[in-house]
Amino acid sequence: MELTPTPTKTRNKTLDILRGFSLLGIILVNLLAFNLPLPHIDLGSWFTLPSDIKWHQLLDIYVQGSFYPLFAMLFGYGLAMQWQKAHANDQPFWSTGLRRMVGLFIIGLLHAILIWWGDILMMYAVFGTLLLLFLRMPPFILFLLAFAWNGVIQLFMIVFSSPGVVDDVYYANIVGIGEALAAYGTGTWLEIFDQRMIDLAVQNSSVMWFFGLFTIFPYMLLGAGASKLKLIERASEVKWLWIGLAVTTFPLGIYLKNLSILQERTFFLEYIKTYVGGPLTAIGYASIIVSLCLLPTVAKLLTPFATVGRMSLSTYIGQSVILSVLFYGFGFGLYGKINVQSGVVIAVTIFIVQVVIADLWLRKFNQGPLEALWRKFTYFKLRV
């Protein structure tokens, strides 16, 4: 028996809803990066208009730092599901999983070079390859490793942060800001390409990869452990676990993310907001959605999220293409000209359009276009 992709009829709708919901959060965050010289500024001190400050604070509390952990957990959950399917069919998964990660890395590399410097797929592909080495472990070992792995960076930050000191967290690269505004706002495609390579080098610095190893990979381990316990598939059996997580992690996460706004801003509070409050809020979001999906009527109302979640890769890359055309000089040239509130409206509008496109596409095809290409690369076998 050959290992094959999961048929449409056996897909888990709740998992697709979670993916779709994550994509909404991702475009809300990424839109700021397409509109502003993000690698060269501190967003917390960038805005001056009261309306921009308020809207950015709302994004900071409810979106920023909460969707990359959620998507990482979903990534780990899905990869562990594929491993379990292969194991159940007595099929090796290492070669298939490795090809899958190589394919994802190639897509991410092309995305980073040709479209947007902020690509996350390459990092997911590398950490996903590392995750392959852990998938044979029992779920509770995966949980233990996840908390221990993440605990390394938590301990490091606590030791080297000073909670009672107002740190200098404000910074700006004036030269970099000017170059980014000129290139992305009015530059040609080649000028934008050159600037993208500069920003890509910042995004893929050794520091970013180091932090990613301790702030993204642990959530993949956490998702893999949850997958082995089938916590989403068995949601009705363990509903009190999901409800308990929803009513504890979400309020706590939101509270922690508010601290740097309610108090004087420090490096320590910024760290708490991003690396403690963000992941707790992510678990809260997942728990709330899984709990709500136990109600058939609510699950049906959330179907649009499942639709776009079925083609999450195509949607993610599609968002970058659309935002590039809207904001960069070779398109509509809106770079640096959109306030935060308008950006939120644009992001939500794009997401709604993508839901409609996904629905129309999936009426004719079983997968999104990039998902189909990724599948062919993963399962392709040379015939000799």
Report the run of H or E that residue 31 belongs to, with start and end. helix 13-35
Q: pLDDT value at position 92?
A: 81
Q: Which two tokens stand for residue 204?
A: 């893929």
Q: pLDDT value at position 3?
A: 42
Sign of the torsion formed by the C-alpha atoms of 128, 133, 138 and 143: negative
Q: pLDDT value at position 382?
A: 43
Q: pLDDT value at position 381?
A: 58
Cα atoms found within 13 Å of the Cα of residue 172, Cβ hemisphere only? 12
Distance of CA 347 to the CA centre of its chain: 15
Q: pLDDT value at position 162?
A: 59
Return mean pLDDT, the chain. Answer: 89
Contact, 308 vs 358, CB < 8 A? yes
Q: Which stretches in the chain have pLDDT values below 50? A: 1-5, 382-384
Q: pLDDT value at position 11?
A: 77
